[in-house]
């Protein structure tokens, strides 16, 4: 198994550690969760970089790398919605967009067409990582410093990051779907 594929599997285990630490209520749970999430994001960056540089991209990596990313992000969004850091409707929009675009890609693949990633989708993913990281870092700092309530500017920043993530998610999903709508139309025709 290649190093990038091993990093993808590590990311799945880091996701489990992240959720367990975040939801355990144990001492330093928020800090462990933030570190696990940060390491998972780093592993995502490294596995893609290594796979391209070493030219060792595999079918396993093409399937599991984006799946591991979606599992990590969905797990983090569910945890943040559960703790009322983000509204449930925002988590539903963000997760649903990813499922719908994944479905569109699978539909295209079933017709022999590979749909490339869109730059707006990469920006959307970055905005989600920043938003999630912000809340996890806020909790870890609060845990380390014994701060229970966030100042108003921290709350406002969190709201802006949520809004930016939702807007970018809707925009990138609309852009991607409209660019590839012909795949949906083609799949609805009788053979």
Dump pLDDT digits (tens) for 123-180: 998 999 999 999 999 999 999 888 878 889 999 999 999 999 999 999 999 998 888 8
Higher pLDDT, 190 or 120: 120
State the CATH class of domain 3-187: mainly alpha
Mean pLDDT for the stretch of residues 12-37: 94
Cβ contact 136:75 at 8 Å: no
CA distances from 105 to 116, 148, 168, 184 (A): 9, 43, 19, 10
Q: Is the pLDDT of residue 190 over 60?
A: no
Q: Which residues of 168-180 are buried (b: 16+ CB within 10 A; e: fewer)?
A: bbeebbeebeeeb
Domain borders along the chain are: 3-187
- Is the pTM for the entire model greater than 0.75? yes
Q: Give the residue, 128 or 120, on which the prediction is more confident.
A: 128
Please write the tens of the pLDDT for every residue from 39-96. 999 998 898 888 888 888 777 877 788 889 999 999 999 999 999 999 999 999 999 9
Q: Among 105, 102, 51, which residue's Cα sits nearest to residue 73? A: 102
- Going from the C-alpha of 109 to that of each of 58, 169, 174, the distances in angstroms are 16, 22, 19
């Amino acid at each position: 198994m290649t190093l990038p594929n091993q990093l993808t599997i590590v990311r799945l285990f880091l996701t489990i550690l992240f959720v367990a630490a975040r939801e355990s209520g144990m001492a330093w749970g928020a800090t462990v969760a933030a570190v696990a999430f940060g390491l998972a994001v780093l592993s995502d960056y490294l596995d893609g970089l290594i796979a391209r540089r070493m030219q060792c991209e595999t079918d396993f990596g093409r399937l599991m790398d984006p799946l591991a990313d979606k599992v990590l992000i969905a797990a983090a969004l569910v945890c943040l919605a559960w703790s009322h850091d983000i509204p449930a409707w925002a988590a539903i929009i963000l997760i649903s967009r990813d499922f719908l675009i994944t479905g569109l890609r699978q539909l295209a693949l079933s017709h022999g067409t590979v749909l490339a990633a869109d730059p707006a989708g990469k920006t959307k993913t970055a905005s989600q990582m920043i938003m999630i990281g912000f809340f996890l870092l806020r909790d870890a700092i609060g845990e380390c410093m014994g701060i229970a309530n966030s100042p108003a500017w921290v709350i406002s920043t969190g709201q802006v990051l949520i809004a930016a993530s939702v807007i970018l998610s809707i925009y990138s999903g609309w852009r991607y779907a409209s660019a590839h709508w012909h795949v949906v139309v083609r799949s609805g025709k009788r053979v």
